[in-house]
């Protein structure tokens, strides 16, 4: 069964509270998404392998380290885009590959409308980025596309996850690690996470209503 790592940190709790509040303005909402994404990225990248090389300082030579494997960032459009910049700040050599999906409101299942994955030369490690893991449909579709591309190590990063989405990923992709800031109570009848924060994409891009 896939591993689920939930962050436990006072800063996570504070920024989550800002995200959840319905009175939080869009600009502040985006900043909190970025901050939480940075904390998630720090945790999710802890086991990345490095190579040693010599670094010349102004005084002497010392050990230096660089990432050993190619890293790919795979944001699920559109909300996942907000998580890319903080990841790139930490891993500027990352490749960014986009997957576009939207939810069919009648079925609550994802519709795949855009992919920019090549047919060959897969990255070594891929981070799937989506602020909300609700039913797990979009995440599952993204992970399946990455596996077909040939990616060997895949990690899912979500700010808020629902038990239903976690269960789906664990059943379908037992080798995929899930990193989340919090696991919420459940999905409601409209398949929104409760207590959640509403529609992350609308709040990030100021398209509510």
pLDDT digits (tens, 9 = 90+) for 137-162: 999 999 999 999 999 999 999 999 99
CB-based contacts of 61, cutoff 8 Å, min separation 6: 54, 55
Q: How many domains, in total, are found in the chain?
A: 1
What is the set of active-site residues?
103, 107, 199, 202
The band of 105, judged by pLDDT with boundaries at 50, 70 and 90, is low
Model pLDDT, residue 116: 76
Supply the mean pLDDT for the chain: 92
Indicate the SS3 state at residue 139. helix
Two tokens at 68?
């050993």
Indicate the pTM of the whole model: 0.92
Question: Of the ranges 24-33, 67-76, 99-108, which one carries the lowest mean pLDDT score?
Answer: 99-108
Task: Please tell me what DSSP assigns to residue 134.
Answer: S
pLDDT digits (tens, 9 = 90+) for 7-57: 999 999 999 999 999 999 999 999 999 999 999 999 999 999 999 999 999
pLDDT at residue 168 is higher than 90: yes
**% of the chain surpassing 90 pLDDT:** 81
Q: The CATH number of the domain where 187 resides is what?
A: 3.40.50.2020
Can you tell me the distance from the alpha carbon of 102 to that of 92, in angstroms, rounded to the nearest whole number? 28
The band of 1, judged by pLDDT with boundaries at 50, 70 and 90, is low
Among candidate residues 2, 9, 12, 11, the one with its CA nearest the CA of residue 160: 12
Q: Which residue has the higher pLDDT, 6 or 116?
A: 6
The residue segments making up the domain with residue 183 are: 4-205
The number of helix segments (H) and strand segments (E) in the chain equals: 6, 13
pLDDT digits (tens, 9 = 90+) for 184-207: 999 999 889 999 999 999 999 998
pLDDT at residue 209 is higher than 80: no
pLDDT at residue 115 is higher than 90: no
Model pLDDT, residue 2: 67
């Amino acid at each position: 069964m896939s591993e689920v790592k939930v962050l436990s940190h006072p800063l996570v709790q504070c920024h989550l509270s800002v995200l959840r509040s319905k009175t939080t303005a869009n600009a502040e909402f985006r900043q909190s998404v970025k901050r939480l994404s940075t904390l998630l990225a720090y945790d999710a990248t802890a086991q990345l392998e490095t190579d040693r090389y010599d670094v010349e300082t102004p005084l002497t030579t010392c050990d230096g380290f660089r990432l050993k494997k190619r890293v790919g960032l795979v944001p699920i459009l559109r909300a996942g885009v907000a998580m890319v910049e903080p990841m790139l700040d930490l891993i500027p050599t990352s490749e960014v590959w986009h997957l576009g999906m939207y939810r069919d409101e009648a079925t609550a299942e994802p519709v795949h409308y855009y992919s920019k994955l090549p047919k060959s030369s897969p990255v070594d490690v891929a981070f799937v980025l989506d602020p909300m893991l609700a039913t797990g449909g979009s995440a599952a579709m993204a992970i399946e596309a990455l596996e077909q591309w040939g990616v060997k190590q895949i990690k899912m990063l979500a700010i808020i996850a629902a038990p239903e989405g976690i269960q789906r990923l664990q059943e379908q992709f037992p080798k995929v690690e899930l990193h989340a800031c919090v696991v919420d109570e459940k999905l409601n009848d409209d398949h929104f996470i409760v207590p959640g924060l509403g529609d992350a994409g609308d709040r990030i891009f100021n398209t509510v209503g």
